[in-house]
Structure 1
Amino acid sequence: MRMLDVIDAKRNGKVLSDEQIQYFVDGVVDNSIPDYQISALLMAIYFQGMEASEQTKLTMAMLESGDQLDLSAIDGIKVDKHSTGGVGDKTSLPLAAMVAATGIPVPMISGRGLGHTGGTLDKLEAIPGFRVSLTEKEFIDQVKEIGLAIVGATGQIAPADARIYGLRDVTDTVDSIPLIASSILSKKLASGTDALVIDVKTGAGAFMKVEADAQKLAHALVEIANGAGVNSMAIISDMNQPLGEKIGNSLEIEESIDILKGKGPQDLMELILTLGSQMVVLGKKADTLDEARELLKQTVTDGSALKKFTQMIEMQGGDTAVIDHPEIMPQAKYHIDIKAQSDGYVTQITADEMGIASMQLGGGRAAKEDQLDYSVGLVLHHKIGDKIKRGDSLVTVYSNQEDISRVEQLIRANFIIGAQVTAPELIHEIITD
């Protein structure tokens, strides 16, 4: 078999065979295929697309190119969740605890933030002592004992994806749905989970800014995951404005704890209940989404979800005093209000720009090696559709520098006051098949 023939087949719109796809992935991993031929195939896929069978085979070949976790020692249906990333999206933290409190094992492997999107691991590391790096045995033992662990990936997960992703970035093929789907799932399915719920964001702060593209990606992810033997559901959720009220690592831990105490913003809780109800149904603890939603609410009411979160912090070396004393986390020196300069209604809070504002304060990474300031970020006091009077506080900036003129300018340019508008719907679509 020649790589040239594989490129020719896809360039001409043919369906690649399992053997051709396996040959390609093997050549990526062992470096027998040069970058220019990999790039040529990526471009052919970008223009010609892939059918479901091709996407599934590509995902599985990439997955099998590296290490895979064996979670068979954990009883029950293991359920995980993946998000395509957003601003203020701390959903995984309270969600995992609430689902685990229903009796479903949640072995969650998460990532770090880059650019305007925050990372679950970064947020957890704002808790003094919290370890996101566990051995495979520690990870499995913890899920067996308390039903919950949130960690970073260990070992060599989907090495084929690492090389392919690097070439996608420099060949302008990043936004190919088959390539996005195989990249996400080759890593997520390597975690050994039995079921998966996927949150595909759409809007200004999302990777998929156009809803039609988000729909295509969501359906592709569910189809591929189901084809790989992992029961899956998905939702498409709005990321035109930040999720919740707080952006920044320590701040988002505070908001997560508030949710588990029955407080916190309504939009964040609604997203948690929507995703969580799917996880509970997949975990076979409820027959319907409505029944699952009530079970999740009960875990907050009876305190079992907060207890589960506390247990996870303790077992992963964190200081559980954070539950009642969030001030033990890094705290910013300055809290600076940005006030409305006119009356009106909030018409726009551009999510990605708010994320960039937090990044400029030190709360996010422009490059992977950047060090984070866990204490900084933004607290939003209003959402789209809210009525505003001149002098009202729009945003409080948590900063360790007194001069925030550049950040203030960015916020004002993207926190728009105007005529009355309708707030965007949070949940655009639920995909269960």
Structure 2
Amino acid sequence: MDARAIIAQLRDGGSLSADELTWVARGLASGEVTDAQAGAFAMAVLLNGIGNDGRVALTEAMRDSGDVLSWDLPGPVIDKHSTGGVGDCTSLILAPALAACGAYVPMISGRGLGHTGGTLDKLEAIPGVQTEVSEDRFRQIVADVGCAIVSASADVAPADKRLYAIRDITGTVESIDLITASILSKKLAAGLEGLVLDVKTGSGAFMESLEAAEKLAQALVTTANGAGCPTTALVTDMSQPLAPSAGNAVEVADCMKALSGDVDTPLAELTCALGGELLAAGRLATDAEAGGGAIRATLTDGRAMERFDQMIAALGGPTAISEVWQDVLPKAAVTVDVPAQSGGQIAAIDTKALGLAVVHLGGGRLKGGDVIDPSVGLSNIARIGAQVDEGVPLAQIYAANDDQANAAAKAVSAAFSFADDPEIPPLIYKRVSA
């Protein structure tokens, strides 16, 4: 086949066959498709689309461009993926809770991207934890503990790694078709038997509008099911941080509280909803509601915490993180409150601005290779609808020095808006199924 002919065909509005899309994916992985050709392909997909069948074919081809795991375990192999947000640390709670219910969770996760936090960065805030492990070690932890959260090896979906980098510099990141294939090729390479997708919408999400988030959720669900993985999605709110904190160590602390039985929070509520979908898909619960109740039970009776302890120890962390987390999590040098400049009800939060404030504190990366400071971030973030008086803290800042703290305080203060009787956004907007 010829990359030029394939690009021209797509450019002119034609459709591509599964064989042609497979050839492109293999060429991306091998280098036979050049950077210029890959950029032209991505732009043609952005402008003209490849349709449902094309999304499935491209997803499968990119998945198969590298290693694809298979499992022989006495329970369903399931996982969850979030499109990213601020204060979204559900994975750290959900994986051990699912394992406590009899599922196996080989969670291949990522690092922070833009204003959004990364699961691996949060996990590595725990001293000693190493998320880069061999495939044999990954398999052993999943089999023994029931869950492992690790980084992807270079051999997982190499076609996506190449195309993702090219999309980032060619203005083609926003393509629904390419976003879908990118997310799912990596997740399905883990050999999953069930998947739930948490598609965020709101001021802290990549898909800010509800319409765009629903469109992406439908594309993801349709494509994943077309590729043979039973999948549902929840479109959830990111108009404010999910957890009361945003950062790395501070979000781990929120997770430890949830794993200790603090379940009357949006963070725990969403974790249970996502877990319920997965337990139903894995036939470990009669339906999602029953599954959510089972997840909640593991948080209140300590079974999820026990699995978390085991996973952290297996990844090189403390042997009983549940007993020592308050002592070992890194602590910032400077703590500053951000007082409300006026009184009233919080009506809106620029959640992206809060995420960027964390990045500029050192809790994320401004450029590749930046070293993250796990101790910095925000905590006790006020929520939409809260009535606050002038001078009452809207959030607390953890910083490395006074200058960073003061800069963050200005950004955080500007992110809050006030109005009478604001509309409180729902935690979950919609469930999407095949």
Match for residue 240 of structure 2? 241
Match for residue 318 of structure 1? 317
- Structure 1 stretches of 5 or more lacking a match? none
Cα drift, residue 294 of structure 1: 1.5
**Equivalent-residue separation in structure 2 for 1:145 and 1:30 (angstroms):** 35
1:205 equivalent in alignment to 2:204: yes
CA contact (8 A) 1:114 1:368 kept: no
Cα drift, residue 321 of structure 1: 4.6
1:191 aligned counterpart, secondary structure: coil
Match for residue 286 of structure 1? 285
What are the superposed Cα offsets for residues 279-333 of structure 1, whole Å, 9 maximum, x if unpaired? 1111111111111111112112221111111111122221145323323111111
Cα drift, residue 84 of structure 1: 0.8
1:223 equivalent in alignment to 2:222: yes
What are the superposed Cα offsets for residues 338-362 of structure 1, whole Å, 9 maximum, x if unpaired? 1112110111221111011111111
CA contact (8 A) 1:75 1:144 kept: no
Match for residue 69 of structure 1? 69
Residues 18-417 of structure 1: pairs in structure 2 closer than 5 A: 18-70=18-70, 72-263=71-262, 266-325=265-324, 326-403=326-403, 404-417=405-418
Code of the residue aligned with 1:309 in structure 2: it is: F
CA contact (8 A) 2:309 2:321 kept: no
Cα drift, residue 244 of structure 1: 1.2
1:15 aligned counterpart, secondary structure: coil
Q: Describe the shift of the 1:381–1:27 C-alpha distance in structure 2 as closer, same or farther (beyond 3 A).
A: closer
**Equivalent-residue separation in structure 1 for 2:121 and 2:274 (angstroms):** 22
CA contact (8 A) 2:339 2:413 kept: no
Code of the residue aligned with 1:362 in structure 2: it is: G
**Equivalent-residue separation in structure 1 for 2:368 and 2:124 (angstroms):** 16
Q: Describe the shift of the 1:235–1:324 C-alpha distance in structure 2 as closer, same or farther (beyond 3 A).
A: same
**Equivalent-residue separation in structure 1 for 2:32 and 2:321 (angstroms):** 51
Code of the residue aligned with 2:216 in structure 1: it is: L
CA contact (8 A) 2:263 2:300 kept: no
Structure 1 runs (4+) deviating above 4 angstroms are none
Cα drift, residue 166 of structure 1: 2.0
Match for residue 11 of structure 1? 11
**Equivalent-residue separation in structure 1 for 2:381 and 2:18 (angstroms):** 53
Aligned residue pair count: 432
CA contact (8 A) 2:263 2:269 kept: no
**Equivalent-residue separation in structure 2 for 1:79 and 1:388 (angstroms):** 42
Cα drift, residue 74 of structure 1: 2.4
CA contact (8 A) 2:121 2:248 kept: yes
1:338 aligned counterpart, secondary structure: strand
**Equivalent-residue separation in structure 2 for 1:83 and 1:296 (angstroms):** 18
User: C-alpha root-mean-square deviation of aligned residues, in Å?
Assistant: 1.5
What are the superposed Cα offsets for residues 110-153 of structure 1, whole Å, 9 maximum, x if unpaired? 11113311111111111111121222111111211121111111
Code of the residue aligned with 1:32 in structure 2: it is: E
- Structure 2 stretches of 5 or more lacking a match? none
> TM-score of the superposition, structure 1-length normalised?
0.96
Structure 1 vs Structure 2: percent identity of aligned residues?
42
Q: Describe the shift of the 1:30–1:146 C-alpha distance in structure 2 as closer, same or farther (beyond 3 A).
A: closer
> TM-score of the superposition, structure 2-length normalised?
0.96
